[in-house]
Amino acid sequence: MNRNDVLIAGLHCGNLSESAGFEQVATLLPFDYIDANQFWFANSEFGTIPKKLNLLTYEAALRLRGSRYQLIHFLLPEVHLTFSLPSSSKIVKVGTVHLPLDVFKEQNLNKHGYVMKLRKNAFDRLDSIITLTRSNEGEIRELFPQADVKFIPHGVYDFSSFFLSQAPAEEDVLNIITVGTNFRDLEMYKALASYAKAEGRKWKFHLLGASKWRPFLIGLENVKIYPYLNEKTYLTLLSQCDIHLLPLTFATANNALLEAHSVGVPSIVSKLDSVKDYSLSTTSFFEDIHSLIESISAFESYNQSTRLKLKKTTLEEAKKFHWAEIASSLESYYQQLLDSI
């Protein structure tokens, strides 16, 4: 494949750290890339008129450029894809799915207006849909039977330089970090923090990117809510914690989970089929508050030697999610699609 055979179309969501997001893979692929963040009003909030203008301009640019390539890959089509799909059947059209698919179901389309109907029509013309979790492959095939469905996982950069062989000692306190509120289980988190406070457990909770949760956690002095942290400060804090806690209600890929892997911090995660694609041998799962408390208590009982072994194993197994590996898989898939024309 040559550089001008493939066009990759993406954008960076402002709620993610600068190194997060599926568009990172484009930097490691030898193909042209068009970025919505290079157009007017790129930093506007989703749903606002400026952001709609940004995405409209982006769609127009994609429409003009897309016809020059043999394959075009839309990295985040759920937020912009409407009229930019090339009309030629000779151009392979690929989209990556990140979000819940309910909006595309017939009974829900009318609730989301004309734009969503246009988006559904565009998805109906995709030749391939890349899913970030095997758990929704069947649902995608049912909704979009014309498309080849391929699982390629989300990736993460190698952050092993932040690895700490031992978390800083703090009077036998267990430091537990949670990042973000998107599809996070607030009730589970609050129940855990309330239990730890009531029982006098030496568990210190670090909560990032969760200012919306602050009113619901009043009175829980064992929870520290942080303001915005730059990436270096965030990764440093993450590496200093003993456990990464991820209470979820929905997931495909999860940047925070991958980042914890990449700095060698073991995770305790809600038991969802979609998360299993991103779990390691050191990942623990919970189904309710009781199994969550048991998992944390078990980790708390480990000596330093066992904890270090878990951290090193986490760091080593995280390599399979490094962006270089994902880019290689994606490039091979592009070639497979082009060969099938």
pLDDT at 169: 60
Look up the CATH architecture of domain 160-320.
Answer: 3-Layer(aba) Sandwich (3.40)
Q: What is the sign, positive or negative, of the torsion defined by CA atoms of 239, 161, 151, 33? A: positive
Judge contact between 269 and 246, C-beta under 8 A.
yes
Task: Give the integer Cα–Cα distance in Å for 81 and 122.
Answer: 7
Task: Give the integer Cα–Cα distance in Å for 85 and 147.
Answer: 14
Give me the tens of pLDDT residue by residue for the chain, a chain 341 residues long. Answer: 888 999 999 998 866 777 878 899 999 999 999 999 999 998 899 889 999 999 999 999 999 999 999 999 999 999 999 999 999 999 999 999 988 888 888 888 777 788 889 999 999 999 999 999 999 999 999 999 999 999 999 999 999 999 987 666 666 899 999 999 889 999 999 999 999 999 999 999 999 988 899 999 999 999 999 998 999 999 999 999 999 999 999 887 789 999 999 999 999 999 998 899 999 999 999 999 999 999 999 999 999 999 999 999 999 999 999 999 999 999 999 999 999 98
CATH 3.40.50.2000 in the chain is located at 3-155+322-339, 160-320
**Global pTM value:** 0.91
Task: Give the integer Cα–Cα distance in Å for 81 and 14.
Answer: 19
CATH annotation of 3-155+322-339: 3.40.50.2000
Judge contact between 248 and 183, C-beta under 8 A.
yes
Q: What is the pLDDT of residues 25-76, one digit of tens each?
A: 999 999 999 999 999 998 899 889 999 999 999 999 999 999 999 999 999 9
pLDDT at 149: 98
pLDDT at 252: 76
pLDDT at 182: 87
SS3 letters for the chain? CCHHHEEEEECCCCCCCCCCCHHHHHHHCCCEEEEHHHCCCCCCCCCCHHHHHHHHHHHHHHHHHHCCCCEEEECCHHHCCCCCCCCCCCCEEEEEECCCCHHHCHHHHHHHHHHHHHHHHHHCCCCEEEECCHHHHHHHHHHCCCCEEEECCCCECCCHHHCCCCCCCCCCCEEEEEECCCCECHHHHHHHHHHHHHCCCCEEEEEECCHHHHHHHCCCCCEEECCCCCHHHHHHHHHHCCEEEECECCCCCCHHHHHHHHHCCCEEEECCHHHHHHCCCCCEEECCHHHHHHHHHHHHCCCHHHHHHHHHHHHHHHHHHEHHHHHHHHHHHHHHHHHCC
pLDDT at 270: 97
- Beta-bridge partner residues of 150: 130
Judge contact between 96 and 21, C-beta under 8 A.
no
